[in-house]
Amino acid sequence: MLAYKIQTTPDDNGTFLVTCPDLPEVTTYGEDGPSVLSNAVSAIEEAIAARIAEGAEIPTPALKAGDSVARLPALTAVKTLLYMALKAQGMSRAELARRLGWHREQVDRLFRLDHASRLDQLEAAFDALGRTLDVRVLEAA
């Protein structure tokens, strides 16, 4: 659904330095493939959560064939895409709450990556933005 390019660099202590070109604040490490991916996803989620809290832009991933990627969990990806759509329209959360007929706190939870928002609420928010949430299942690569 949403994946960011990661770069790994061997360190001199047997670990790998992990960075994300699209999100320069992401720096983590891993001891092997699984820990590299797990730590990369966690660091990317933290960076995205911080950008949402600050009202900053979140870049669309710039991927090329063959890139190593960290795939975000589905709920994180949907919330990130919702935030990006809100920013693209120049709409405030207060306006989104008004359009939905919800309290502002309900809307704020849609953008908290640590909150398990319901899919129907996320769909309603996309609807209010004139967007449609499209979920797909693809063959694993």
Sketch the domain layout of the chain as residue ranges: 3-71, 74-128
Q: State how far the Cα of 47 lies from the Cα of 30, in Å rounded to an integer.
A: 17
pLDDT at 70 over 90: yes
Residue 1's pLDDT band, with cuts at 50, 70 and 90, is confident
Residue 128's pLDDT band, with cuts at 50, 70 and 90, is very high
Average model confidence (pLDDT) across the chain: 96
List, for residues 73-101, the tens digit of each pLDDT value.
Answer: 999 999 999 999 999 999 999 999 999 99
> What stretches of the chain adopt beta strand conformation (E)?
3-5, 7-10, 16-19, 27-30, 69-71
Q: State how far the Cα of 85 lies from the Cα of 100, in Å rounded to an integer.
A: 15
The CATH T-level fold of domain 3-71 is Double Stranded RNA Binding Domain (3.30.160)
User: pTM (2 decimals)?
Assistant: 0.93
> What stretches of 31-140 adopt beta strand conformation (E)?
69-71
